[in-house]
Amino acid sequence: MSKIQWTDVTDNPIHLIKPDGKHGGHWCKKISPGCANCYAEAQNQKPFYGWASMRPYTGNRPTLFLLNLDILNSWSRQRAPKKHFVCSMTDLFGDWVATEWQFEIFDAMVAAPKQTFQVLTKRPQIALKSIEEYCQINGLEKLPSNIWVGVSVESQQYADERIPVLFQVPAHIRFLSVEPLLEQVFLPLENISWVIVGGESGSHARLCRVEWIQSVVNQCQKSGVPVFVKQLGARSSITLQDSKGGDISEFPKSLQVRNFPKLKVEV
């Protein structure tokens, strides 16, 4: 089970392989301020994890990748419905990920209608192109409703850049991860099904003011969009005992909100 509060399990079918064929860790490429203290990069540089590649999420892409078909094939065999955060350690729509692999992952999701798949990207332009092409090839107007597509937003600049592209993605469920929230943001929500919001965690966390989170919650509630307050952050503007600011009992009452969109899955 995942420690990420808004999902049940994380699946990472794309990773590096070592020369001996074993799991070689992960890689992604930082592209905006929200990436600065990436939790996935931090995990990937901890020797505690036997698969850690120790590579930074910068520079040129490594040459060895593996699409783990065992993970993809397992989805259709799972009986209990779960929420799967797919590619939590990288970006499925990074320009280093082959379109064919993206399509194989979509195929596996389509073949597992009992499961819900959450795909999050900072590269909505690539996501839009890939998903439109996949839908066209397969005669679909939109991705099936068990495939949710979201973008990460950390500031007004990236809200303005990424959300309008997400609006164009042919998906039933489009969502926003407003995390790490680095400033107050105003969100267009008319085509959004769900919003996650939270401050930054980790020893180098940047300030997150509770009024910024409150503003996002207020915007969602005014628009009737389900909102999930994940954490107030390790450097919140209020004093908290939890190191990540993730203990909901410490939140102001108005921020004790963890809602999901209605699940549309076949059972």
Q: What is the pLDDT of residue 199?
A: 98
Q: What is the pLDDT of residue 263?
A: 61
Structure tokens at 237: 């503007």
CB within 8 A of 136, min separation 6: which ones?
none
Q: What is the pLDDT of residue 37?
A: 96
Global confidence as pTM: 0.96
Q: Is residue 91 part of a domain?
A: yes
The residue ranges of the chain whose pLDDT is under 50 are 265-267
CA of 260: how far to CAs of 210, 227, 238, in Å?
A: 21, 7, 26
CATH classification at residue 171: 3.80.30
Q: Is residue 178 part of a domain?
A: yes
Complete DSSP assignment for 127-155: HHHHHHHHHHHTT-SS--TTEEEEEE--S
Q: What is the pLDDT of residue 107?
A: 98
Q: Is residue 50 part of a domain?
A: no
Q: Is residue 233 part of a domain?
A: yes
How many domains does the chain divide into? 1
Residue 74, classified by CB atoms within 10 Å of its CB into exposed (0-12), middle (13-18) or buried (19+), is: middle
CB within 8 A of 43, min separation 6: which ones?
49, 52, 89
For residue 118, what is the enclosing H or E element? Answer: strand 116-121
Helix, strand, or coil (residue 258): strand
Q: What is the pLDDT of residue 86?
A: 98
Domain span including residue 204 = 69-255
Q: What is the pLDDT of residue 265?
A: 46
**Rounded to an integer, what is the distance from CA 18 to the centroid of its chain?**
26
Q: Is residue 135 part of a domain?
A: yes
CB within 8 A of 222, min separation 6: which ones?
none
